[in-house]
């Protein structure tokens, strides 16, 4: 394919058509200090080999996740992905297809979507799951919007244990829709009283477990309060593997569940593309956003799959749709489905137990370092430590010693007086040697 950039003639034609006197006038809305004063000094041309050499050199400056002991989580988790997952998703029938619109064409795609939904519903303990959203944060936004539609109220109360990026995404949407959202202060020890925050205008409370600090939360008492006060309980998770070990949100009375599915079948991918998991109680089926695939029988009585309840969706119902999301994270959702199928129920439980055991071992080792305190009473594969210095600076010193030691809380919650806290994750990919290396590097860096 030829790449045809704009000619200067194209550019002046377009500027003339929209009535701008020049490129500077076109960008006049952008403050002058935000604009480049001169053209970027980039080389005009390089050969493929030169570009490859240059970029490889730049890439080698990074400390990559797989190259050193790695303990970074905070919403994106490094797990082992069987080679068969990547091999299977690259079949062209899967790799090149877009989310289906014809209700019954592409039975293979529809079948994996149906199986994905079944897995998500089983994992979360909910009645029904959709064909996936973009990621955990936008799934959370969709859950909040759905709660507003169901209750007719327009205020969301966000837990101080909710991942700050998720809270920020809800706030961004609320700002545009004119809805209210109240975010509670950071809740390191999971002691906040969310029930007391529910007033007559509250449509939903949004709580994450394991929360961003790693604490596991029993949502059952809050579910009772929500029910009594007419608000919906939205349960969020960022680590799907945790559902192999902890009580699923559905069993604790959640009305809607939104979470991130990246950690099953999907690599870190620089923060995306990811796959949002979304599930709800059956009674809210008609208000669910996004695609839904159902199982049915064809004219000859054979099992088949169809897109169903599409009248909720934007391509049918336009502005009356439940959501402007008219797609799903097809390939990431397929990777999730294949990995989950390979694991099976017993495999997922075992994987979750290994994660927890590794994290317990790491907590013991780090907690034994003088001046370091593990803050959590409960956790799955991630916990918070308090260090006797600035966490962000310590992480840099650890990196110099060849250990990626976690995420300083100040990076997620700057200016909140939490600069001595670090989020530390440990999955099945860490070896005992990795964990020993962390403890040793920590002793040296303090």
Cβ distance 35 to 27 under 8 Å?
yes
Runs of H (alpha helix) within 152-278: 164-177, 220-229
Task: Indicate the residue among 158 and 204 with the shorter CB distance to another protein.
Answer: 204
- Kindly write out the interface string for residues 148-187 of this chain, putting x where it contacts another protein by CB under 8 A and - elsewhere: ----x-----------------------------------
Measured between alpha carbons, how far is 296 from 309 in angstroms, rounded to an integer? 13
Task: Indicate the residue among 151 and 378 with the shorter CB distance to another protein.
Answer: 151
**What's the closest the beta carbon of residue 151 comes to another protein, in angstroms?**
8
**What's the closest the beta carbon of residue 320 comes to another protein, in angstroms?**
7
Task: Indicate the residue among 135 and 179 with the shorter CB distance to another protein.
Answer: 179
Task: Indicate the residue among 112 and 284 with the shorter CB distance to another protein.
Answer: 284
State the Rg of the chain over Cα.
24
Phi, psi of 160 (to 5 degrees): -75, 0
Measured between alpha carbons, how far is 90 from 365 in angstroms, rounded to an integer? 41
Pick out residues in 180-219 that bind another protein (CB under 8 A): none
**What's the closest the beta carbon of residue 295 comes to another protein, in angstroms?**
18
Characterize the bridge pairing of strands 128-129 and 256-260.
unpaired
227 binds another protein (CB under 8 A): no
**What's the closest the beta carbon of residue 32 comes to another protein, in angstroms?**
46
3-state SS class at 133? strand
432-445 and 391-400 helices cross at what angle (nearest 10)?
120
Tokens of 25: 């006038």
Task: Indicate the residue among 179 and 239 with the shorter CB distance to another protein.
Answer: 179
Task: Indicate the residue among 187 and 313 with the shorter CB distance to another protein.
Answer: 313
Beta bridge partners of 279: 129, 257
Task: Indicate the residue among 87 and 286 with the shorter CB distance to another protein.
Answer: 286
Measured between alpha carbons, how far is 99 from 107 in angstroms, rounded to an integer? 12
Measured between alpha carbons, how far is 190 from 407 in angstroms, rounded to an integer? 19
**What's the closest the beta carbon of residue 313 comes to another protein, in angstroms?**
10
- Binder to another protein among 53, 80, 87, 286 (CB under 8 A)? 286
Size of the site for another protein (CB under 8 A): 6
Task: Indicate the residue among 80 and 286 with the shorter CB distance to another protein.
Answer: 286
**What's the closest the beta carbon of residue 286 comes to another protein, in angstroms?**
7
Task: Indicate the residue among 237 and 284 with the shorter CB distance to another protein.
Answer: 284
Pick out residues in 377-436 that bind another protein (CB under 8 A): none
| Order of strands across the sheet that contains 421-425 | 373-374, 382-386, 421-425, 407-408
Q: Does an H or E element contain 140, and which? A: helix 136-151
Counting beta carbons within 10 angstroms of the beta carbon of residue 180, is it exposed (0 to 12), middle (13 to 18) or buried (19 or more)? middle
Measured between alpha carbons, how far is 208 from 200 in angstroms, rounded to an integer? 23
Cα–Cα distances in Å, from 75 out to 12, 72, 352, 423?
46, 9, 16, 10
Characterize the bridge pairing of strands 180-183 and 155-158.
parallel
Task: Indicate the residue among 17 and 318 with the shorter CB distance to another protein.
Answer: 318
3-state SS class at 228? helix
**What's the closest the beta carbon of residue 132 comes to another protein, in angstroms?**
23
**What's the closest the beta carbon of residue 317 comes to another protein, in angstroms?**
5
**What's the closest the beta carbon of residue 309 comes to another protein, in angstroms?**
9
**What's the closest the beta carbon of residue 435 comes to another protein, in angstroms?**
54
Pick out residues in 301-340 that bind another protein (CB under 8 A): 311, 316-317, 320
Q: Which residues bind another protein (CB under 8 A)?
A: 152, 286, 311, 316-317, 320
């Amino acid at each position: 394919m030829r790449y045809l950039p704009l000619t200067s003639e194209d550019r002046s034609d377009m500027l003339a058509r929209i009535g701008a006197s020049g490129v500077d006038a076109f960008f006049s809305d952008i403050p002058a200090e935000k604009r480049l004063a001169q053209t970027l000094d980039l080389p005009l041309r390089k050969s493929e080999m030169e570009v490859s050499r240059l970029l490889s050199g730049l890439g080698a400056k990074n400390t990559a996740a797989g190259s050193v002991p790695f303990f970074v989580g905070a919403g994106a988790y490094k797990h082992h992905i069987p080679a068969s997952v990547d091999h299977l998703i690259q079949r062209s029938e899967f790799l090149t297809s877009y989310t289906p619109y014809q209700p019954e064409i592409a039975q293979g795609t529809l079948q994996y979507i149906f199986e994905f939904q079944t897995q998500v519903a089983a994992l979360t303990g909910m009645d029904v799951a959709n064909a996936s959203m973009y990621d955990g944060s936008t799934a959370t936004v969709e859950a909040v919007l759905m709660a507003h539609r169901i209750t007719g109220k327009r205020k969301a109360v966000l837990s101080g244990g909710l991942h700050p990026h998720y809270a920020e995404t809800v706030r961004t949407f609320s700002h545009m829709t004119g809805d209210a959202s109240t975010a509670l202060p950071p809740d390191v020890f999971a002691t906040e009283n969310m029930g007391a925050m529910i007033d007559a205008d509250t449509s939903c409370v949004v709580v994450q477990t394991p929360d961003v600090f790693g604490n596991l939360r029993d949502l059952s008492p809050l579910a009772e309060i929500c029910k009594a006060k007419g608000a919906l309980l939205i349960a969020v998770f960022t680590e799907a593997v945790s559902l192999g070990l902890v009580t699923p949100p559905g069993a604790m009375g959640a009305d809607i569940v939104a979470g991130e599915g990246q950690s099953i079948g999907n690599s870190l991918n620089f923060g995306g593309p990811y796959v949002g998991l979304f599930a709800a109680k059956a009674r809210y089926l008609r208000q669910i956003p996004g695609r839904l695939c159902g199982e049915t029988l064809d004219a000859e009585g054979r099992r088949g799959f169809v897109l169903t309840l599409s009248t909720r969706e934007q391509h049918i119902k336009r502005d009356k749709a439940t959501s402007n999301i008219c797609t799903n994270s097809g390939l990431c959702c397929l990777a999730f489905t294949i990995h989950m199928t390979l694991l099976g129920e017993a495999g997922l439980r075992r994987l979750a137990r290994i994660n927890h055991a590794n994290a317990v071992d790491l907590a013991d080792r780090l907690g034994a370092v003088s001046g370091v305190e593990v803050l959590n009473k409960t956790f799955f594969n991630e916990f918070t430590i308090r260090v006797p210095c600035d966490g962000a600076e310590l992480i840099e010193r650890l990196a110099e010693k060849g250990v990626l030691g976690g995420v300083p809380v100040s990076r997620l919650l700057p200016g909140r007086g939490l600069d001595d806290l670090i989020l530390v994750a440990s999955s099945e990919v860490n070896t005992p040697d990795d964990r020993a290396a962390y403890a040793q590097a920590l002793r040296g860096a303090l």
